[in-house]
Chain A
């Protein structure tokens, strides 16, 4: 039996704009993945604890408050500290172009900026998921 791909969709930080996160959660469900949706105002700690308990393959972070340069890398660091750096982190939201490179360097494997079609996210997951199969 094929291993199902599991994805956590989480919103770190304090902004309550969850339409993007909900949209992506629903679209990934429709694409056949199992999506664990944790809702708004999550801390990097709660996101990482959830990722480990749920044994996810991916963590998708959505942020519109501007704190992505602090919070996204923090999630990657905490996963590493837990020995769970095989979990792939990607992000989305209003993220300026000039931040993308430094975020990628810090281990966020993809950044999806406003206007990205959902197929780009699915392509990313499909290209990465094989390497995460246990």
Chain B
């Protein structure tokens, strides 16, 4: 390329970058701009002039602050159709009388804070939620309690919202007649942070979303999944704790997700897993900890993902990689005290395993570079047998099985030889050791 042309390209790229930066900065500024601090304030309480939240909202001017004092406000559906800030004091109870949505937000720039919202409708028609925002931007939903509702907090076609520090208590008993704790549909750039969801269908459910930041949430004892994503991209999931659901992190039909520092634990059962990567592409899994799951991570038609520096401890099966998955890279992970390391249904492997720590590895390291000199084959004969004959699990840790595995390792006949770690680590990484 001639020098002038290259210079022109560089200037062009620089200009585009500068424009992008300016645009981002402008949006940041717009987000950060405080509402006037001297906003008019309305107080609602059972003995005040304003006894109902609905009345106060009707009376409020845009930008007003509505203070709701402790008490029971059973008003059916309350619609928030102008930019206001609703703050509860002493967790006032907003009761939806089991009709439809309890609080329905249809305006931008609405804040809902410190309310106890309960009793949404329960029919599947219209998916009633405790708090539902539709087609809005910049909403802030924080410090609320939610209970006795079909869906908890639901955002449809929302953008730049923040949902944080909410406590959501579900009463789901069957997956088909229950909703999700935090449900985002067709939404962008939402922050979901520090929420606690127990007893729903899915704890966190995101469908057709982009640019979400999901961090520090706790999602446990839900009927289906702790964190469930469909048709989404460019989301970041960090430091969430998923526990005792049917599945922990379940990512489907999505791409370019980043999953860091999460913990997925105690997902026990026939179809239970710490993480499921189904039709997931180009995503990153790093520094997550999978402990005590029946299957820690399942890859089903997942392609081009990076799974690095994760801790797999005391799971039934650490990895289950279906033959439909390829071009994934598993490197720098630690596998310790799992009943089985890897199980697969194929004979070939188009995935790369490198520099993982496997506690079953019995190789040597003559040049003392910390990397074993012979490869490790993580699929055992017994694991292969189990894929065909699940009943054989009865023989787990039997001397006979050890003998069979040993013989197969000596003269491999059945296990896939392509699936191997050519540079297994000799020592367990320090970050993994501490978690014994």
Bind each other:
no
